[in-house]
A and B are shown apart, each in its own frame.
Chain A
Amino acid sequence: MTAVLPRISEADVRTALDAVVDPELDEAITDLGFVSSVSVHGVDGCDVEVHLRLPTSFCAPNFAWLMVSDARDAVRGVPGVGRVVIELDDHHDSELINRGLAADADYRGTFGHEAEHSLDDLRATFHRKAHTAAMERALTSWVRADPNRTEDDVAAVRLCDLPAGRERDALLDRRAALGLPLAPTSPVLLGPDGRPPSRDAVALTFRKARSVRVSVDGNAHFCRGLLTTRYPGSDADQVFRPSIDHALPLEVLK
């Protein structure tokens, strides 16, 4: 008798999960270490079980739901997949959320009276924050690249002025997600309405964007640290987004 080889590999599942993003941190749940296990089993080798974990029991349940339900959709999209089980471990709402997932319920079906409409607005808010942070990273890197450039110059920077690389790619991805202009001559600095700010609002728009970036990066760093405290060894599963502040990393001291 020969062993049945799984038709789906663990790597296929993890690749699919790479597309699932923590909306608050704008990073893949795989890079954050939130995927605690992936197993492929069943007689056909097509059934998948994934366990997810978060930095605290009290991470916000609405964001937890967005991640686990996105994970469910992503794994279901793997070609040839059979039965899919996704479970969130050790969360104050694990029971409620896992029951909802098992019953194939949506947000409202899972959270009942606490869910009014949908999480679409929440998701959109964090898509905008993700774009704002990416925009600030690109512009701050641009200013720092040349001692003759200052913050006052950022209004004139166009997409084609940004050097090729991680920051520009990340910005273009987030622009595409929001339907913002991708033309090479489009200004990089955009206000909350998606349009270039007026001349007197340039400095404020840029500083506001910085507070968003500081917040998102700081939260991501703290969440990774808490995950490591809660699940010793989970740091091995984490991939850090490189900081734009190369000279002074977000160091962790003992």
Chain B
Amino acid sequence: MYSKDGTDYFVVDAHIALWDARPENQRNIHGKQFIDCFYDYHRNLSPESEVWGYDEYLYQGGERLMRDVFADGIVDHAIFQPARLKEFYSKGFGQTEEAFQLSQAHPDKLTYNHYFDPRDGENGLDRLREDAETMHLKGVKLYTADWHGESRGWKLNDPMAYKYFEVCRELGITNIHVHKGPTIRPLDRDAFDVADVDAVASDFTDLNFIVEHVGLPRLEDFCWIATQEPNVYGGLAVAMPFIHTRPKYFAQILGELLYWIGEDRILFSSDYAIWTPKWLVEKFVDFQIPAELGEYAPLSTDQKKKILGLNAAKLYDIPVPAALQVAEADATATGPRDPDAADKNLAMA
């Protein structure tokens, strides 16, 4: 729990990872390119005081993760969202066993989500059933740009993926976290396009689709899809750190999200270990949409509470002390929220 100025916040970090990108696990040059890309994200968007050395960035291990994520008791609960990347890393990128064991050791603090890949076919379906049972899965993380043999991507509405979603429905895996990436088959299309989220969200209305990185770099496409589908959520991983280096851009992202999908469907995430949650939570609680951006309504304390933890806690049935709860917004299920809240003159203060 985080307290500031007499207000308490229940914090859920909805996207963390325990990865191993050390050279001995890199299968080829792409393993190095991938973690280098993450490291550049980290260096570019972190405050100078929070920048790590390259070697410590490659692997953290469970002990350090517990220290970093739950530093000073700010984060109450965190959810693993692993990526497989088996074509880049010999033992995979996300360390399944280590992360799962850690969540077993700290069930009050950690939830382990696993992944599946529809290109594993029927065998993968059996595997998903086994994983769901041993890992007690409530959610999965899907990376549509993962490479798999000759294939460098898939779509959520591929016929085989539908078989997996039917199994998710049957097993009670209700939270489907979707992460778009640069490749897809065929390359003719925009791999970041979220049109396939629209299709599956309409066909599986009893599943929740949490689009990670709020669709970045296609924030606009995400907002347009999500405003029409009541079971589509936005995860703030990668968007959060803009709060420091580019606060105006962060305000615009948040302003757009609140306008299009409202305060009940936005989830805080640090994307640990790309960034650490402590400074992000502290800055978010202090954050306000600048008055110069009159096209967006100001951010309320209740909205911050929901985004920081209450929305994710609801999706994962994480117990929240009654005193920290906030009522759900009396908002429309689809379409823009409270469109009249903003200043229509767009006045520059």
Contacts and interface: CB of A to CB of B under 8 A. Distances in A.
Interface stretch (B69-77, B184-192, B317-325): B184-192
Given A61-B182, A208-B224, 15 more contacts: A55-B40, A60-B182, A111-B187, A203-B339, A207-B339, A215-B220, A217-B249, A218-B249, A219-B217, A225-B45, A226-B40, A245-B248, A252-B245, A252-B246, A254-B47
A254 to B, nearest CB: 5
Interface in A117-134: 117-119, 121-122, 125, 129
Interface string A186-226: 00000000000000000110011011101101110110011
Contacts of B44: 222, 225-226, 228-229
A117 B189 CA distance: 10
A252 B247 CA distance: 8
Nearest to A143: B346
23 contacts: A24-B217, A57-B36, A62-B188, A92-B30, A117-B186, A122-B189, A122-B190, A140-B346, A147-B345, A151-B345, A211-B219, A211-B220, A214-B219, A214-B220, A218-B246, A219-B216, A222-B44, A222-B246, A225-B44, A248-B348, A252-B245, A253-B245, A254-B47
Nearest to A211: B220
B146 interface: no
Contacts of B34: 57-58
Contacts of B336: 204, 207
B244 A247 contact: no
A113 B152 CA distance: 11
Interface residues of A, number: 59
A103 to B, nearest CB: 18
Interface string A22-42: 001000000000000000000
B344 A150 contact: yes
Contact of B252 (A55, A121, A214): A214
A62 B185 CA distance: 11
Given A143-B345, A218-B253, A58 B182 contact: yes
A251 B248 contact: yes
Contacts of B224: 208, 211
Contacts of B260: 211
A114 B345 contact: no
A251 B247 contact: yes
Contacts of A125: 190
A218 B218 CA distance: 10
Contacts of B192: 60
Contact of B349 (A121, A140, A247): A247
Contacts of A111: 187
A165 interface: no
Could you say which interface size class chain B belongs to?
35 or more
Among A150, A204, A207, A228, max chain B CB count under 10 A is at: A207
Interface string B136-164: 00000000000000101000000000000
A222 B253 CA distance: 13
Given A150-B345, A211-B256, A59 B248 contact: no
A60 to B, nearest CB: 4
A117 B188 contact: yes
Given A150-B344, A248-B293, A254-B47, A218 B219 contact: yes
B183 interface: yes
Interface string A47-68: 0000000011111111000000
A214 B259 CA distance: 13
Nearest to B244: A253
A249 B186 contact: no
Interface in B164-209: 181-183, 185-192
Interface of B: 30, 33-34, 36-37, 40-41, 43-45, 47-48, 150, 152, 181-183, 185-192, 216-220, 223-224, 242, 244-249, 252-253, 256, 259-260, 290, 292-293, 295, 336, 339, 344-349
A97 B181 CA distance: 19
B18 to A, nearest CB: 21
Among B246, B292, B347, max chain A CB count under 10 A is at: B246
Contact of B188 (A24, A121, A210): A121
Nearest to A122: B190
Contact of A115 (B182, B188, B223): B188
Contacts of A225: 44-45, 245
Nearest to B190: A122
Contacts of A122: 188-190
A215 B188 contact: no
A233 to B, nearest CB: 15
A222 B239 CA distance: 11
Nearest to B189: A122
B314 to A, nearest CB: 26
A250 interface: yes
Closest 6 CB pairs of A and B: A57-B33, A116-B186, A60-B182, A211-B220, A150-B344, A229-B44
Contact of B246 (A210, A221, A226): A221
A118 B217 contact: no
Nearest to A218: B249
Among A204, A212, A222, max chain B CB count under 10 A is at: A222
Nearest to A90: B33
A230 B39 CA distance: 10
Contacts of B220: 129, 208, 211-212, 214-215
A241 interface: no
Contacts of A152: 344
